[in-house]
Structure 1
């Protein structure tokens, strides 16, 4: 079996997705900044019968990100599914009139340069397999910009455009690209935004391979 790589893996959505894909036989590469937390998360998943390993990287540092993805493919096997879902930093969410050009550097590195780096790294492996899936997970500002969260609104819109372009370009190669927009917070126990429910949704996007943009819940929720 091939590998799922989750960029921005944590104990909520990331762990739930690892469990869901793990039930289907996928090993999971957990990628985030803190190796200690990743190791603890992988150990917890192992106790549940899920094969996972942590690989530390910063999405704003291309060398560490490409290194982590390369190490993951070497250790676990070729990456068939890439999920890009890191949680943006609070300093990216300034009011629009307080946001300078310098303030946009971080969000753009996080939501544009990071995804481009990751996709470019895994794409040769997917082409070698003859199949692949790239899943972008974004908040509601990817679709409806918010004046109090200018950085993420601008950067998520650019990430969305990149994803749409990939979707249109790679479909003929058997590589499916989809975006899941999650309005508001991920809420344990919520009928549509509980981590396990969202993990099921992402598995369905991978399996059904139908369309680019999908919504976990209504935008005004």
Structure 2
């Protein structure tokens, strides 16, 4: 029985690279982002590479929308064995703490921590039915080292990180692996280890290893 990797925050960089890497291993691919046209274009590109993929429009800050998209993906493509939670933060989450409003902070927490919880709640029953599963949470360095110049992501990634760590500890006895990949300084930037294809290979190794919680692409300074 084929199973599915659901990529939340699918785009032409890491999302597409992960879809190609895991698709090459036989997984069906569910692509989730806010734009249906966007994910449909990615699905068409993947089809050209021989990967079975479908796109689903959703907003991670809308629990009902996200749950519905993941449910439809599992119905159409097969149970979700792998969840990749990697939506790209909005610019208002990257403002200094003294310039960040209450609403911006709340939105950041909804985007990262609460969105992650909604996604896990949606896919966990399927993972339990399979008797296995992997959740991959992708964050920047502010998840472990708060930066007052990036208040929204610092607060929200830290909350997401704590949630993921607790899931890792609680679900390991069930054979469900929860892991976090920290990408200091973001994707690309001239460092070969930070390029999407290299990151997707790192994610594949994390999935294949199936044990540890946190991996740093490169060490923090």
TM-score band w.r.t. shorter chain = over 0.9
**CA positional deviation for 1:189:** 6.1
Change (3 A) 1:148 1:189: closer
What is the aligned partner in structure 2 of residue 149 from structure 1?
Answer: 150
Verify the 8 A CA contact 1:188 1:195 in the aligned structure 2: no
**CA positional deviation for 1:101:** 2.5
Q: Secondary structure at the match of 1:198?
A: helix
Q: 2:185, 2:58 → 1: CA distance?
A: 26
What is the aligned partner in structure 2 of residue 219 from structure 1?
Answer: 220
Q: 1:41, 1:189 → 2: CA distance?
A: 24
Q: Secondary structure at the match of 1:192?
A: helix
Q: 2:104, 2:188 → 1: CA distance?
A: 29
Q: Write out the 4+ residue segments of structure 1 that deviate beyond 6 Å after TM superposition.
A: none
User: 1:106-185 residue pairs with structure 2 within 5 A?
Assistant: 106-185=107-186
TM-score of the superposed pair, with normalisation by structure 1? 0.97
Report Cα offsets for 1:77-126 as digits up to 9, x if no partner: 00000000000000111211222332211100001110000000100000
Q: 1:95, 1:190 → 2: CA distance?
A: 26
What is the aligned partner in structure 1 of residue 91 from structure 2?
Answer: 90
Q: 2:167, 2:124 → 1: CA distance?
A: 11
What is the aligned partner in structure 2 of residue 194 from structure 1?
Answer: 195
Report Cα offsets for 1:19-64 as digits up to 9, x if no partner: 1001110010000000001101110111111111100000011111
Q: Number of matched residues?
A: 220
User: 1:42-81 residue pairs with structure 2 within 5 A?
Assistant: 42-81=43-82
TM-score of the superposed pair, with normalisation by structure 2? 0.97
**CA positional deviation for 1:192:** 0.7
What is the aligned partner in structure 1 of residue 16 from structure 2?
Answer: 15
Q: Secondary structure at the match of 1:55?
A: strand
What is the aligned partner in structure 2 of residue 39 from structure 1?
Answer: 40
Q: 2:175, 2:50 → 1: CA distance?
A: 30
Verify the 8 A CA contact 1:133 1:175 in the aligned structure 2: yes
Report Cα offsets for 1:163-214 as digits up to 9, x if no partner: 0000000000000000000011211763211101100100111110121111
Unaligned runs of 5+ in 2: none
Q: Secondary structure at the match of 2:194?
A: coil
Q: 1:52, 1:188 → 2: CA distance?
A: 29
